[in-house]
Amino acid sequence: MRITSLTTWIMLVLCPLLLAACMVGPDYVRPAPVKTMPTAYKELEVWKVAQPRDSEIPEQWWELYNDPILNSLVEQVAISNLTIASAEARFRQARALVMAARAGYFPLLSAGASATRSYTPGNPDAGNSGGSTSSGFQLLLDVTWELDLWGRIRRGVKASQANAQASAADLVAITLSTQAELVSDYFQLRVLDAQKQLLDNTTTIYRKSLELTKKRYAAGVTTKPDVLQAETQLKSAEAQTIDLGVQRAQLEHAIALLIGKPPAAFSLPSTSSATMIPLIPTTGLPSELLERRPDIASSERMMAAANARIGIAKAAYFPTISLSAAAGLGSSSLASWFLWPGRFWSVGPAAAATLFDGGLRRSQSDQAWAAYDATVASYRATVLTAFREVEDNLAALRILEEEARVQDQTVQAAQQVANISMSQYQAGTVSYLNVIVAQSTALANERTALGLLGRRLIASVLLVKALGGGWISEKQN
């Protein structure tokens, strides 16, 4: 009966407090990303990529390039890349922290057992010169539960959840960035393969020109300087071909690292097949970047976590109220330790409040507000950077397409000049210097055209990355 009445008293005291429980601190409301949200991309007003039937970038966005070798390489990134593995481990750590924060919702139950033997000396002044020896045995079960009246624990859980969501978005962002880096490196390597093929073909032509010049010199039609110029031109083209090997080897090593392999265990055969610029969907509005860009999603979740930590700092101003209970068995002898008469128990609430801390709580609250303001600024900067990256690469694709069209015309004209110069040289109407100038100009322009193709491919990859790849935030919810 006594236990029941005590429990009733405790509930009468605690029920009003539980009913009055609240969450101190501001509720999270996502701030405006920028003062004025653009309604459309500026670059799309003057130029727009033709749209495929699907208005969204596919999740396997690299398949837009229709390159089976590239597809197999990118698929290895999420499995073997060590940077992504590190990010995935941080995500698992963040999820574990959510579970740790949620543990605060529940009571803490502990158990213990102790056995002691002590000696107490006697008091000679009282005529008791002998001491006494006593034994004590206890078996204790203890329960402690902090009542989350002010929302400190709930705010902590919200902060941990937001951090875990940010970590998940970071994992996607790192994966997308790594995939884009691999695709860019792959296209640069393929452009080098195309340039090597061009130089190999050019070297073959130069070698034939050298043989022709030697025959003409043997026949007394031309002079020794013409032969030397032809040899110089051939050796220069061969040197340029060899020089491409350095860049290609470095790119091949970079790709090996991105797929988690040592460079010695990876090689990529050369190919002369050209990759076409894909049709990239760009029908989305700028506001859609808030859902499509994982870095923006991560930054927004960091704001939510910082907002929750303000509530944690505010809760420190209020008293901590907890309910504790203990029960067990105790005896002075081992034989009667577990007998029912040796039972004991205690139960009751406890409250603790800080009366003076020298401004500690105020500084912690100010720190939480400042951290939140920093995340807001970082979020808005991330959004603006996203808009800039989309505009940059839309502009790059538009301008480079126009430049490539003009460059193709230049290549055709330069090739015609080279052919005419060679015909004139064979007819004896011009010197070999005219041939060298024309052929060098043609080669330089063809290499420039290939370079433009590489820049357009990389710009298309960066545009896909700027648009968030094939990811949208709903997939992570």
Residues 123 and 268 in one domain: no
Whether the Cβ atoms of residue 397 and residue 460 lie closer than 8 Å to each other: yes
CATH number for 341: 2.20.200.10
Q: What is residue 388's three-state secondary structure?
A: helix
Whether the Cβ atoms of residue 226 and residue 422 lie closer than 8 Å to each other: no
Which of 331, 352, 373 terminates a domain? The answer is 352
Residues 43 and 62 in one domain: yes
Residues 234 and 140 in one domain: no
171: Cα within 13 Å, side-chain hemisphere: 21
348 falls within a domain: yes
> Mean pLDDT, consecutive 10-residue segments, the chain of 477 residues?
48 50 83 80 59 63 92 92 93 94 90 80 62 76 88 92 94 95 96 94 93 90 89 94 95 95 92 78 72 90 95 91 84 70 80 88 94 95 92 92 95 95 88 90 94 94 91 61
Residue 430 pLDDT: 86
83 falls within a domain: yes
Find all residues with CB under 8 Å of 233, minimum gap 6, and list them: 206, 209, 210, 436, 439, 440
Find all residues with CB under 8 Å of 116, minimum gap 6, and list them: 135, 136, 137
Long-range CB pairs of 192-197 (<8 Å, 24+ gap) are 192/244, 192/247, 192/248, 192/251, 193/248, 193/270, 193/271, 193/272, 194/272, 194/274, 194/450, 194/453, 195/244, 195/447, 195/450, 196/241, 196/244, 196/248, 196/270, 197/270, 197/272
Residues 199 and 112 in one domain: no
Residues 254 and 389 in one domain: yes
Q: How far is CA 126 from CA 119, 120, 133, 263, in A?
A: 18, 15, 18, 90
Pairwise CA distance, residues 193 & 195, whole Å: 5
Which of 302, 333, 352 terminates a domain? The answer is 352
Q: What is residue 287's three-state secondary structure?
A: helix
Whether the Cβ atoms of residue 176 and residue 50 lie closer than 8 Å to each other: no
Residues 234 and 345 in one domain: no
CATH number for 48: 1.20.1600.10
Which of 307, 333, 352 terminates a domain? The answer is 352
Residues 331 and 440 in one domain: no
Sequence letter at residue 90: R
9 falls within a domain: no
Q: How far is CA 165 from CA 19, 77, 371, 466, in A?
A: 31, 22, 18, 21
| Residue (of 455, 446, 386, 381) closest to 416 by Cα position | 446
Residue 160 pLDDT: 94
Residues 182 and 213 in one domain: yes
290 falls within a domain: yes
Q: What is residue 141's three-state secondary structure?
A: strand
How many domains would you assign to the chain? Answer: 2
Residues 120 and 89 in one domain: no
Entry pTM: 0.85
Whether the Cβ atoms of residue 346 and residue 294 lie closer than 8 Å to each other: no
23: Cα within 13 Å, side-chain hemisphere: 16
2 falls within a domain: no
Residue 339 pLDDT: 72
Q: How far is CA 251 from CA 174, 261, 457, in A?
A: 20, 14, 16
206 falls within a domain: yes
Phi and psi at 326, nearest 5°, equal -145, 145
Residues 305 and 245 in one domain: yes
Residue 51 pLDDT: 40
DSSP code of residue 89:
H
397 falls within a domain: yes
391 falls within a domain: yes
Residue 2 pLDDT: 45
The residue segments making up the domain with residue 196 are 23-106+149-318+359-476
Residue 328 pLDDT: 82
Pairwise CA distance, residues 371 & 375, whole Å: 6
Residues 274 and 207 in one domain: yes
Residues 57 and 97 in one domain: yes
